[in-house]
Amino acid sequence: MVQSTSKVMPLEEAVRRFVRPGIQLHMETAARAAYRAIMREFRGQKLDLTLLMCRVGGSHAFDFVSSGLVKKVVAGSYGLVSRAYTGPMPQIQRLYRSGTVEFESWSLYSYILRLMAGALRQPFALTHSLVGSDLARENEERFKVIKDPFGSGRDVAVIPALNPDLSIVHVAAADEDGNAIMAMPMEESLWGAKASVGGVIVCTERIVPQEYIQANAHLVRLPALLVRAVCQVPFGAHPGAMYNRGVPDAIAYAEDEDFVDEYAKAARGEPQDIQRWLDAWVYGPKDHADYLKRLGQERLQRLQAASRQVGESGGAPPKNAAQELVMIAAMRKIMERVQTKGYEVLLAGAGQADIAAGLAYQVLRQKGFPIYVVTGTGYFGYTPSMGFSSKYLTSAMLADTHECYGVLLGGNRRTALALLGAGQIDKHGNLNLNRVGNLFLTGSGGANDAASLAPEALVVSGLSRRKFVERVDFITCPGDHVQTVVTDRGVFEKDPVSGELVLTSYLRTAEVTSPDQVVAGIQQNCGWQVRAAPGLREMPPPTPEETALLHAFLALP
């Protein structure tokens, strides 16, 4: 038997020992209990932390960034995704406008590539992302284009390594030494922990004997060599999920969607609303055990049961007929592109693009097309349905961001169609998800990676002058690969000669009778001069079968 070198301690003690002012602190997405512990321990103090985080999303992250403990954030995205609300958050808006916190924005995959380089002690990483974007321009000191030193003549983009001073992660199981098991999918795949020069605090659902680790060594993703502390924190990812598929005797639980909805309502309400929420769920509990007590055993048991059920939650219903139309129109266009171009993979973005991908998948599969749906967070080959657990429980492969973007989208096969949304879009197909004036949006997430790596991108969005502009305020995704934009009023497609989006089909409404009137109505809602294609055609209205498919997918009556 190997002699134990126990690193076990309470989370609060680990935080006091290892979190120091001015450090670069990497926080793995699921380490939500640690966010709360740090906020309680250092409340009112000046830590001046630089927070490194893949996605600033969820109550733990927004509250942490706005707690006064953080001076800078390095991240890939900053938006909330929930049943009740998906989009930018007020806390981030206020901090951005005031300049209280500095935001260094990357795409999801480029951020992870920087951590990978740091873990491997390489000075920089190669990337296909960011080229031609304002993300590259903003990071000009950290983004360089060089010539391939091996003589291909190609330009190669490089970005610097990123090394945290301390990393905090949450895992399925760990022994007293810190050998840690983490189930797939892993999104950033613990590269932040491996890049940390000051070691790792491991929060774990449970502490297991060395014999358990030895019997399941094939599941260990983080060795004890890199670990400073081991803290047992059951349900420590709450309100997020820990499905822990394939980990023997693991604690598993689904996302607490009710909790997230309650948070979204409080955060977007009056200042006293979010303060009451913080007092109840962050500063009120004296420790994590007290937090769990407030949640209650019944709620925790319900989340455990939900982790084993596919597609349990229904989707938010479309707000109007126009939203139904854009999803159905996008479904049709996705099917057309798959059938004519031979695409095999659909990269599903959030919101309407995700729903359209699910609808197209169902019909294409029925027609015998071998189509796979993938997300940038590590799910491949899943059966789309409403409810987060469906991705986890029906995936053919659980992977990470590196495999999904680097191999499945950007690798040698090149048969992926990326489905995206946009805060703004211009006539060249450039997309903006970062900022409009002094309004901070959600950031790139994986959108820049998808638009850069997939051979083609299709955008799904409602038509409005606010979104469809002559020139975007910020180029998150260059429009080079954007070939189609589907709206509730019509479909725009890229003219190969001018490189501009032209109107190729439209929907006739009850108020107008001629194509000229329809185009005029579209022009009123579009910020650039609309060009109609010579073969402009009318888009058929949704069929009863298509509407029924949409309602069934969203679990609507």
Query: What pLDDT does residue 510 have?
Result: 63
Query: What pLDDT does residue 48 have?
Result: 98
Q: Is residue 445 part of a domain?
A: yes
pLDDT higher than 70, residue 241: yes
Higher pLDDT, 478 or 2: 478
Ranked by mean pLDDT, the top range of 157-161, 308-312, 437-441 is 157-161
**Which residue, of 246, 277, 308, is where some domain finishes?**
308
d(CA 333, CA 541): 14
Query: What pLDDT does residue 242 have?
Result: 95
Q: What is the pLDDT of residues 452-487, one digit of tens each?
A: 999 999 999 999 999 999 999 999 999 999 999 999
How many domains does one find in the chain?
2
d(CA 73, CA 51): 5
Q: Is residue 113 part of a domain?
A: no
Higher pLDDT, 27 or 82: 27
Query: What pLDDT does residue 93 have?
Result: 92
Calculate ∠ Cα 10-15-16, nearest 5°: 100
Query: What pLDDT does residue 59 have?
Result: 81
Check if the beta carbon of residue 19 is closer than 8 Å to that of residue 47.
yes
Query: What pLDDT does residue 70 have?
Result: 98
Q: Is residue 535 part of a domain?
A: yes
Higher pLDDT, 529 or 386: 529
Query: What pLDDT does residue 512 have?
Result: 61
Rounded to 10°, the helix 352-366/544-553 angle is: 120
Query: What pLDDT does residue 539 have?
Result: 87
pLDDT higher than 50, residue 532: yes
CA atoms lying within 13 Å on the CB side of residue 483:
13
Whether residue 325 sits in one domain with residue 230:
no
Q: What is the pLDDT of residues 265-277, one digit of tens each?
A: 999 999 899 999 9
Whether residue 387 sits in one domain with residue 276:
no
Whether residue 355 sits in one domain with residue 273:
no
d(CA 41, CA 19): 10
Residue type, position 452, single letter? S
Query: What pLDDT does residue 192 have?
Result: 98
Sorting pLDDT into bands at 50, 70 and 90, what band is 324?
confident
Sorting pLDDT into bands at 50, 70 and 90, what band is 312?
very low
Q: Is residue 115 part of a domain?
A: no
Query: What pLDDT does residue 402 have?
Result: 95
Distances, alpha carbon 507 to alpha carbons 336, 483, 516, 535, in Å: 18, 20, 12, 14
Write the DSSP assignment of 80-129 as a string of letters. Answer: EE-SS-EE--HHHHHHHHHTSSEEEE--HHHHHHHHHHHHTT-SEEEESS
Q: Is residue 315 part of a domain?
A: no
**Which residue, of 308, 337, 369, is where some domain finishes?**
308
**Which residue, of 273, 308, 343, is where some domain finishes?**
308
Query: What pLDDT does residue 526 have?
Result: 97
Q: Is residue 356 part of a domain?
A: yes
pLDDT higher than 50, residue 557: no
pLDDT higher than 80, residue 537: yes
pLDDT higher than 70, residue 492: yes
Strand bridging mode 166-171 / 24-27: parallel
How deeply is 331 buried, as exposed, middle or buried, from its count of CB atoms within 10 A (0-12, 13-18, 19+)? buried
Check if the beta carbon of residue 362 is closer than 8 Å to that of residue 385.
no
Whether residue 412 sits in one domain with residue 465:
yes
Q: Which residue range(s) make up the domain with 226?
A: 14-107+163-308
Whether residue 484 sits in one domain with residue 460:
yes
Whether residue 435 sits in one domain with residue 396:
yes
CA atoms lying within 13 Å on the CB side of residue 49:
27
Query: What pLDDT does residue 391 have?
Result: 83
Number of residues assigned to the chain: 557
Question: The tokens of 500 are what?
Answer: 């501009």
Whether residue 420 sits in one domain with residue 337:
yes
Question: The tokens of 265 are what?
Answer: 């309502």
d(CA 490, CA 23): 50
Q: What is the pLDDT of residues 21-59, one digit of tens each?
A: 999 999 999 999 999 999 999 999 999 999 999 999 888
- Give me the mean pLDDT over the 385-400 stretch: 81
Whether residue 329 sits in one domain with residue 277:
no
Check if the beta carbon of residue 535 is closer than 8 Å to that of residue 503.
no
Q: Is residue 454 part of a domain?
A: yes
Percent of the chain scored above 90 by pLDDT? 81
List, in sequence order, every residue forming a beta bridge with 468; answer none if it has no partner. Answer: 425
> Could you tell me which residues come within 8 angstroms of residue 234 by beta carbon, excluding any fewer than 6 positions away?
205, 206, 251, 292
Question: The tokens of 361 are what?
Answer: 């998948």
Q: Tokens 């680790």 — which residue?
A: 213
Q: Tokens 């934009």 — which residue?
A: 485
The average confidence (pLDDT) of the chain is: 93
- Give me the mean pLDDT over the 437-442 stretch: 92
- Give me the mean pLDDT over the 129-155 stretch: 96
CATH number for the domain including 219?
3.40.1080.10
Q: Assign 8 to helix, strand or coil.
A: strand
d(CA 433, CA 421): 9
Whether residue 393 sits in one domain with residue 261:
no
Whether residue 407 sits in one domain with residue 366:
yes
Among the listed residues 386, 390, 388, 340, the one whose alpha carbon sits nearest the alpha carbon of residue 364? 340
Q: Is residue 124 part of a domain?
A: no
Q: Assign 373 to helix, strand or coil.
A: strand
Whether residue 387 sits in one domain with residue 297:
no
Q: What is the pLDDT of residues 197-215, one digit of tens each?
A: 999 999 999 999 999 999 9
Among the listed residues 396, 443, 394, the one whose alpha carbon sits nearest the alpha carbon of residue 130? 443
d(CA 24, CA 3): 33
Ranked by mean pLDDT, the top range of 296-305, 322-331, 381-390 is 296-305
Query: What pLDDT does residue 320 have?
Result: 59
Among the listed residues 5, 71, 8, 67, the one whose alpha carbon sits nearest the alpha carbon of residue 42? 67
Sorting pLDDT into bands at 50, 70 and 90, what band is 556?
low
- Alpha helices by DSSP H, listed for 271-430, are 271-281, 288-295, 297-306, 321-341, 352-366, 389-394, 401
**pTM exceeds 0.85 for this model:** yes
Q: Assign 67 to helix, strand or coil.
A: coil
> Could you tell me which residues come within 8 angstroms of residue 255 by beta carbon, excluding any fewer than 6 positions away?
239, 240, 241, 303, 388, 389
What is the signed CA dihedral for 325, 88, 350, 458, rounded to 10 degrees?
70
Distances, alpha carbon 104 to alpha carbons 164, 418, 527, in Å: 15, 25, 29
CB environment 398-424: b (16+ within 10 A), e (fewer): bbbbbbbbbebbbeeeebbbbbbbbbb
Whether residue 377 sits in one domain with residue 228:
no
